[in-house]
Amino acid sequence: MLELAIKGSKKYWGWVVALLIIAGIGFGFYLKQLGFGLGITGMSRDVSWGFYIAQFTFLVGVAAGGVMVVLPYYLHDYKAFGRITILGEFLAIAAITMCLLFILVDLGQPMRMLNVILYPTPTSVLFWDMIVLNGYLFLNIIIGWNVLEAERNDVHYQKWLKPLIYISIPWAVGIHTVTAFLYCGLPGRGFWLTAILAPRFLASAFAAGPALLILLCLFVRKVTKFDPGKEQIQSLAKIVAYAICVNVFFFLCEVFVVFYSKIPEHMDHIKYLFMGLHGHGSLVPFMWTSMILMFIGIILLVNPATRKNETVLAVACVAVFIGTWIDKGLGMISGGFVPSPLHHVNEYAPTFPEIGITIGVYAVGALVLTVLYKIVVSVKEEVSA
């Protein structure tokens, strides 16, 4: 099927080349980082994880969100999603690829990466995260590819795929749970030290992933002959609506516990994010923007009249996507490190090269997604022709 990826229009190739150039520029910055060290980023002794790990966390969510089309179709036999499960699975592949790249660019000694496998350490959550992420990547490649191939040949997919598909569903929940466990099991980091972190991650994932999927479906319908379907998009929209409500609810639960108990170690981080602490508050406008966007998303998605209008729906999905991105991709990681365990306030802001590398990784992800979706669309057009 790979040959389908190289038979494309001028526009397709233009897009691919543009992505390659952006990825190349990002790689250039990465070479600089390799030479100098992570000192070219904005990270510091106090904020020792920054933009890379935050993007990683957000994208694990996007990958896990793909399961929201797989689950209804395979477990509840919701036929309509049969048309688009492949889009969810391939989105997951692109997202996990970016996750792994973000971990890679965050390492101080990337050449020693294999030490994680050579000296496996079951007490380390990072060890398990590596296993579940790679496992999820392979599951989706195997399932997605074979199911699509079967569809192309107009046969039922192989029997042995079924157990893998069933495994992939809890596995999707697993990747984001384990990713949350990276943070929420650390003593002395009051912002993350909460059992609601994993559920909150999942809720925001099940909002952000399907929201992106809706936008992709609308885009695919516009530029190709394959229509993912009105019903499908509406069902996805309901999923986003519930998930974003739950996400905000979980956050408010956290806010209650923190501000009613008034334990400073837990409270100061949220204060820093939403009000500023000791005169430092560079994230304050972002965090409120995120909150407002998520509420706009809720209003537009819960209300059937606005949800059914696809233009408004697109706006709502953009709001949800950006809102959850700020929440996780900006606030979640910095917020945990400020104030520091010794209660110093040292703020973090990404540097120019750091953003360059980040955009480069996103370009690689977009490239993987483009190629995979190109194949899907070609197969779907072929089958319907």
Partner 1 sequence: MESSRRKFIKIAGISALGLGVKPVFNVFASSEEHGRKSEIKKSKDALTAEQWGMVIDTRKLTTAEDVEPIINACNKIHNIPDHQNKNHEIKWIWEEEYEHAFPGKENKYLNERIEHLPFLVLCNQCEDPPCCRACPTKATFQREDGIVMMDFHRCIGCRFCMAACPYGSRSFNFRDPRPFIKEKNNEFPTRMKGVVEKCNFCAERLAVGKKPACVEASNGAIAFGDLGDPGSEVRELLRENYTIRRKQGLGTGPSVYYIV
Summarize as ranges the residues that interact with partner 1 (CB under 8 A): 36-39, 41-46, 48-49, 103, 106-110, 112-113, 115-116, 118-127, 130, 182-183, 186-189, 264-265, 336-337, 340-344
**Is residue 59 a contact partner of residue 95, using CB atoms and an 8 Å limit?**
yes
Minimum CB separation from partner 1 for residue 325, in Å?
A: 21
Measured CA to CA, the distance from residue 72 to residue 79 in angstroms comes to 8
In the complex, minimum distance from the CB of residue 339 to partner 1, in angstroms, rounded to a whole number: 9
Residue nearer to partner 1 on the CB measure, 79 or 343: 343
Which residue's entry shows tokens 């501000």?
259
Judged by CB, which is closer to partner 1: 18, or 263?
263
Q: DSSP assignment of 74-111, as one string?
A: HHS--GGGGGTHHHHHHHHHHHHHHHHHHHHHH-SSGG
Query: Cα separation of 131 and 175, whole Å?
Result: 9
Contact 28, 359 (CB under 8 A): no
- Closest distance between partner 1 and the C-beta of residue 190, in Å? 10
The neighbour count for residue 74, using CB atoms within 10 Å, is: 19
Closest to partner 1 by CB, 129 or 327: 129
Residue 350 backbone zone (phi > 0: left; psi -120 to 50: alpha; other: beta): beta
Q: How far is the CB of 122 from partner 1 (least distance, A)?
A: 4
Per the DSSP assignment, residues forming a β-bridge with 277 are: 280
Q: Please state the closest distance from residue 273 (CB atom) to partner 1, in A.
A: 17
Q: What CA–CA distance (Å, rounded) separates 22 from 364?
A: 8
Q: Smallest gap, in angstroms, from Cβ of residue 39 to partner 1?
A: 4
Q: Is the Cβ of residue 109 or residue 384 nearer to partner 1 in the bound state?
A: 109
Place of tokens 């972002």: 286
Question: Taking Cα atoms as reference points, which of 363, 365, 350 lies closest to residue 38?
Answer: 350
CB of 128 to partner 1, least distance (A): 9
Query: Tell me, what DSSP letter sits at residue 158?
Result: P
Nearer to partner 1, 33 or 85 (CB): 33
Helix (H) or strand (E) holding 236: helix 230-261
Provide the minimum distance between the beta carbon of 352 and partner 1 in the complex, in angstroms, as a whole number. Answer: 15
CB-nearer residue toward partner 1: 52 or 90: 52
Q: Of 66 and 331, which has the nearer Cβ to partner 1?
A: 331
| CB of 11 or CB of 279, closer to partner 1 | 279
Is the Cβ of residue 43 or residue 84 nearer to partner 1 in the bound state? 43
- Measured at the alpha carbon of residue 277, what is the angle toward residues 273 and 281, in degrees to the nearest 5? 55
Q: Is 129 helix (H, G, I), strand (E, B) or coil?
A: helix
Q: Can you tell me the distance from the alpha carbon of 274 to that of 327, in angstroms, rounded to the nearest whole number?
A: 11
Phi-psi region of 155 (alpha: psi -120 to 50; beta: other; left: phi over 0): beta
Minimum CB separation of residue 46 from partner 1 in Å reads: 7
